[in-house]
Amino acid sequence: MTFKVALLGITHESNTFVDEVTTLDNFRKGHWMRGEELLNEYRSAFHEIGGMIEILELEKIEILPVMYAEATPGGIISADTYDSLLEELLHQLKRVLPIDACLVVPHGAGISEHFLDMDGHWLSEVRKMIGNDIPIIGTLDPHANVSPLMTDSTDALIAYKTNPHIDQRETGREAAKLLVEVLKRKVKPFQYLTQLPLAISIEQQHTGKEPCISLYSYAKSLTREKGVLSISILLGFPYADVEEMGTSIIVISDNDPDLAITLSKLLEEYIMDHKQDF
């Protein structure tokens, strides 16, 4: 059996303290592509989409490249711009239905004038279109301010583990491998989000230095627990003045809610115990 997987995303890191809004022209000057153009651009790229393509092609899964739009980080996205991007995304997605799964590429800190949780909004619209039975798995930048709507709209979200980001392609491979396991019915993700009552200082977010080295090492040790599919630390993006701004944790288990909750609490306790270091 050949699976059909849609590949799509809207990516922007939005700074609410920048006066100038981000427009369609900014996306046109960035990356905005559809269909085969998307595959040709990213197949060999050091980017999560490249990692996703690599695994899907290795597994001989049919890739349905829908649309990917990315603009340079800047001010919040104008209402008209987001409306246009979302309309085209859903239009292009509808054209390739039916599908077996979705690989999605949000950033996690996207904001539009009308939807402060822009990533949560477009992910929820994708979910509405394809229904609850089709798996949606994706990646996040660790500078994501994760909302419950983002995790409620997806089956699994996996963040890069480095800042500066040097593991984007690897993270794309990890997301695609998990999707393959889901499609083959080998695992069933249970995703649990913990929003912490703090925001790690941007000056302490270098994952190659303390205090992040020890934090990520501890998180990695927890992933060795049987039944753990993924653990992500979302450092947060303090330049987005939104309700969900802050540091968060996503634990994904293989259909084991108790395990996901337990490990989330352990990580939360670790961060809170070391709060002053961050």
Q: Encode the chain (278 residues) as per-residue pLDDT tens digits.
A: 689 999 999 999 999 999 999 999 999 999 999 999 999 999 999 999 999 999 999 999 999 999 999 999 999 999 999 999 999 999 999 999 999 999 999 999 999 999 999 999 999 999 999 999 999 999 999 999 999 999 999 999 999 999 999 999 999 999 999 999 999 999 999 999 999 999 999 999 999 999 999 999 999 999 999 999 999 999 999 999 999 999 999 999 999 999 999 999 999 999 999 999 99
- At residue 59, the pLDDT reads 97
Pairing status of strand 101-104 against strand 136-140: parallel
- At residue 133, the pLDDT reads 97
With H, G, I as helix, E, B as strand and everything else as coil, classify residue 43: coil
189/159 Cα distance (integer angstroms): 15
Quote the tokens at residue 94: 């509808």
Residues 6+ apart with CB under 8 A from 123: 104, 106, 136, 138, 149, 150, 153, 154
Q: Closest by alpha carbon to 15, among 127, 122, 143, 120? A: 143
Q: Which residue has the tokens 């997605």?
A: 93
Q: How many CA atoms lie within 13 A of 185 on its CB side?
A: 1
- At residue 2, the pLDDT reads 87
48/140 Cα distance (integer angstroms): 9
- φ/ψ of 210, rounded to 5, equals -75, 150
Q: Closest by alpha carbon to 203, among 268, 144, 278, 142? A: 278
Query: Residue 103 pairs with which residues in a beta bridge?
Result: 7, 137
Alpha-carbon distances, residue 201 vs 153, 158, 178, 209 (angstroms): 28, 21, 31, 14
Query: Residue 159 pairs with which residues in a beta bridge?
Result: 140
